[in-house]
Amino acid sequence: MRHFLTLADFSKDEILEILNIAKKLKSEVKAGKYSNILANQTLGMIFEKNSTRTRVSFETGIYQLGGYGIFLSSNDTQLGRGEPIKDTARVLSSMVDLIMMRTHAHTRLEEFAAYSSVPLINGLSDDFHPMQLLADYLTMQECGKDKNPIVAYIGDGNNMAHSWLMLAAKLGFELRIASPKDYAVDKKILKRAEEFAKISGAKIILSENPKEAIANADVVTTDTWASMGQESEKETRKAAFKDYCVDSALMSIAKSDAIFLHCLPAYRGQEVSEEVLESPQSKIFQEAENRLHAQKGVMVWLHQNR
Ligand code: CP
Ligand code: NVA
């Protein structure tokens, strides 16, 4: 049995295999066909943070595959009142077939996985957001941006930046991350990605200079400057990131046919301008829809690999 906590735990072939399942399922749904691969399967979805896309894509996804999803908010469950993770994991996994969890510290997921008798999927932690990256890469494939691309990530060294590091390191493409000095990626995660990059041939370049990072890029991406849990740092971060807005001037330094991606929700006028977000280069809604298809691929793959 496998869990899906980070892309670090998956090989390039496995990542591409999951995406191939996703593509097949997407084309079937577009043709009005729904397979029942996960008939009678129940997915428990634990949310300790807010969500629009992750919740709806997992719930719709399991339903389209013939199964059933249970939304478990930490406000309503005993988890929110302090029931230990290790007890919750054993109880839930004795009843459901698959669990997705969105949480704070990544160690909460690791502890849950250690006690769970069914596969656990990371629906976002403070350190990683791997489901988003599968949707992002699926979008790159659909836009023809998966052949030796240069990806520029402009912004916070957060869960999205870390997940881009893992994707690039596993698949072997060039990733440039530009962040303000005090907001760079986690050193331990970077080191791990660099180890994988030695094998895959990925090129990872960190800087504090958005213009340098974006020059000639095929894919440009960013994320909120203040992630969930960092609300109190909003104003300090706004000041620190003021030169890191992906606006039309910055975007014009990338390749003329570069695409723009953002996991959403986006903060217009902060990490990205309204103009870039609404431009033809922006593929953000295709990307958001791909959460549904990519996650169906993950659920089917985990089921087939039990
Ligand atoms: N991108 C993403 O994970 O969105 P939600 O927070 O709405 O789930
Ligand atoms: N970095 C953001 C991503 C939201 C989908 C956060 O963690 O809030």
Q: What is the mean pLDDT of residues 168-176?
A: 98
Binding pocket residue ranges, ligand 2, CB within 6 Å: 124, 129, 158-160, 223-224, 227-228, 263
Inter-residue contact 224 to 271 (CB < 8 Å): yes
pLDDT, tens digit (0-9, with 9 covering 90-100), for 6-17: 999 999 999 999
Q: What is the pTM of this model?
A: 0.98
**Largest alpha-carbon pair distance within the chain?**
54
- Inside any domain, residue 120: yes
- Inside any domain, residue 53: yes
133 confidence band (pLDDT: 50, 70, 90): very high
Instruction: Judge whether 132 counts as a catalytic residue.
Output: yes
Q: What is the mean pLDDT of residues 147-151?
A: 98
Separation of 132 CA from ligand 1 center, angstroms? Answer: 8
Burial of 283 (0-12, 13-18, 19+ CB in 10 A): buried
- Inside any domain, residue 244: yes
Task: State how far the Cα of 28 lies from the Cα of 20, in Å rounded to an integer.
Answer: 12
Q: Are residues 298 and 206 located together in one domain of the fold? A: no
- Inside any domain, residue 12: yes
Q: Which of 41, 97, 106, 132 does the annotation list as catalytic?
A: 132
Structure tokens belonging to residue 114: 């250690």
State which H helix or E strand residue 221 sits in.
Answer: strand 219-222
Task: State how far the Cα of 216 lies from the Cα of 205, in Å rounded to an integer.
Answer: 14
56 confidence band (pLDDT: 50, 70, 90): very high
pLDDT, tens digit (0-9, with 9 covering 90-100), for 219-237: 999 999 999 999 999 999 9
- Inside any domain, residue 162: yes
Given this model, what pLDDT does residue 13 score? 98
Q: Are residues 241 and 276 located together in one domain of the fold? A: yes
- Please give the number of the atom of ligand 1 that sits closest to the Cα of 124: 3
Q: Are residues 158 and 274 located together in one domain of the fold? A: yes
What is the domain range of residue 199? Answer: 144-282
Q: Are residues 270 and 187 located together in one domain of the fold? A: yes
Q: What is the mean pLDDT of residues 42-58?
A: 98
How many domains would you assign to the chain?
Answer: 2
Any idea what the CATH number is for the domain that residue 199 is in?
3.40.50.1370
Q: Are residues 13 and 123 located together in one domain of the fold? A: yes
- Inside any domain, residue 171: yes
Q: Are residues 183 and 75 located together in one domain of the fold? A: no
Given this model, what pLDDT does residue 170 score? 98
Task: State how far the Cα of 76 lies from the Cα of 121, in Å rounded to an integer.
Answer: 21
- Going by CA atoms, what residue is nearest to atom 3 of ligand 2? 227
Q: Are residues 166 and 253 located together in one domain of the fold? A: yes
Instruction: Judge whether 129 counts as a catalytic residue.
Output: yes
- Inside any domain, residue 1: no
Q: Are residues 70 and 167 located together in one domain of the fold? A: no
- Mean pLDDT of all residues in the chain? 98
Q: Are residues 26 and 50 located together in one domain of the fold? A: yes
Q: Are residues 169 and 214 located together in one domain of the fold? A: yes
With H, G, I as helix, E, B as strand and everything else as coil, classify residue 284: helix
Q: Are residues 86 and 115 located together in one domain of the fold? A: yes
Mutating to test ligand 1, I would choose from 53, 132, 160 the residue with most ligand atoms within 8 A of its C-beta, which is 53
- Inside any domain, residue 137: no
DSSP 184: P
Instruction: Judge whether 192 counts as a catalytic residue.
Output: no
Q: What is the mean pLDDT of residues 195-206?
A: 98
Cα→Cα distances 111→21, 86, 99, 127, 154, Å: 29, 7, 13, 15, 32
Q: Are residues 27 and 86 located together in one domain of the fold? A: yes
- The C-alpha angle 21, 26, 31, rounded to 5 degrees, equals 130
pLDDT, tens digit (0-9, with 9 covering 90-100), for 234-267: 999 999 999 999 999 999 999 999 999 999 999 9
